[in-house]
A and B are shown apart, each in its own frame.
Chain A
């Protein structure tokens, strides 16, 4: 799917499946994800992406979104959210056309959308007019998820979705991921927490130094096997 330093990588995620990408920090997981999502990382990226068996153009972010991809960044504060803006405005950001007619935003509709996701994802806030900077990490992450769910994606790439989040919110996020796969979405989950991957994923790819070094099904994956793949390579 993506290629870095002329290393080729290929993987699949099926509808309704949660696929994990395990690896140490700096293994190239985020770079892989960003390369797929609109070639947002580095230069000279080549490769092919197919969604639902059909070749998809993901050469720019808008095209990747149109192709049904969504990418929840690892760093939600600097790459995922506009902290000074409200929950409502952050929710609609990636799909403004969805709340607008002929380029004019229908604010009532926009509020409804934000309110819908606030309830669905249980974002704890007095109102959707609250600025995102005032929310806790877990609630901020839910706003990022709202934004991407509103684009109606087929494939969600979640980069460290539970980093810096308290335990309660973590389990809520796991619940959301399970709901998504139950709805038939393909979820690619990148995480440094092996226990999280082992608990959530149907399959796990192991990545090291920019390349895949193994693929394990949920049944065969254990922390030891993943670590030994990384270390021995």
Chain B
């Protein structure tokens, strides 16, 4: 057991203010909106909606985190998302291609777009801000051209399932959805097991670890929150398909960024590109790949978004890049690169999502919503900078 004194605990809290702060901010925001919306926020329907509404932001935030960690930015994701959605609509509706052909083609187009932008950023050293600003204009224009100003829809059922489908209850109970509950229990068990593993390792190497009380409290809150959400979902229609893809992608990207040599190298590029290069890291190639990866995820986001709305509109993806970038920065990534976490970006996206959703339920106008979201972003980044200065 950890016998750290009071000073040790508060020093630990100071050091990890950001991680706890983010978690508590999300909880505080949810509790706040739950109260002011008279319990509408956490109704099963609305929780399901929250996931469906924000899925494409979260999917793109995963790629954006890697781009930002490597010291770059991608302003084109909203336009690319809209363009790929439009392209998929044309292929599905106008050309009548089957879904299993359209999805891979769309993802490949996304990869090609990301690769094209990455090529100029990585190998020609043109600032990513400029390259992707150009991309933003180009693909916004191309989606207008592709749709000729019209909306295209509706889509086949199998394509809509990408976003609006649910995992059926494998146990036949239906309500509550036993599959969902079981998945929740497994997720909590895995989280706890991983937390204990890390603790054991830290103890072995004498790393300063979080006090036992904190560990228990944090895990209790996270587990309870998770089970609460799952319980609500189980009471409605079960697990949305898109939630499963989101969770799988989040786990994969968290693993890649934190545990693999590939992830470590991306962080190294953002931390000090020249030092990384002189340490044998192929910085150009890796930067190229992060942009290509972003392109694929933007394409996936576009498919999910189009599937949810059941039409592709010329305005799809307008301004979405800003939400995605804001989510990553609220999640604690640094503008200069080299730091930031996948889990942070996902929580950041949820904070934005819950605020959007809560304010809409309250009937706050889009004008005030923008102002509030802007201020929250500024506050989050200020909190980061302030903390860093205090630590020296």
Contact = CB atoms under 8 A, between A and B. Distances in A.
A105 B198 CA distance: 14
A100 interface: yes
B282 A79 contact: no
Contacts, number: 78
Contacts of A151: 280
Interface stretch (B156-164, B264-272, B371-379): B264-272
Nearest to B282: A62
A73 interface: yes
A71 interface: yes
A42 interface: no
B94 interface: no
A79 B264 contact: no
Contacts of A80: 275, 278
Interface string A94-135: 101100100111011001000000000000000101000000
Contact of A105 (B204, B259, B271): B259
B389 interface: no
Interface in B160-216: 201, 204-208
> Interface extent on A, as a size class?
20 to 34
A104 B260 contact: yes
Contacts of A94: 279-280
Given A78-B272, A84-B339, A103-B260, A93 B279 contact: yes
13 contacts: A40-B278, A60-B282, A64-B280, A81-B272, A81-B275, A82-B275, A84-B338, A85-B338, A89-B264, A94-B280, A96-B261, A127-B207, A129-B208
Given A80-B275, A129-B207, 4 more contacts: A40-B278, A61-B278, A71-B278, A97-B261
A-B complex: 6 closest residue pairs judged by Cβ atoms: A82-B271, A94-B279, A96-B261, A62-B280, A82-B272, A65-B280
Interface of A: 37-38, 40, 60-62, 64-65, 71, 73, 78-85, 89, 93-94, 96-97, 100, 103-105, 107-108, 111, 127, 129, 147, 151
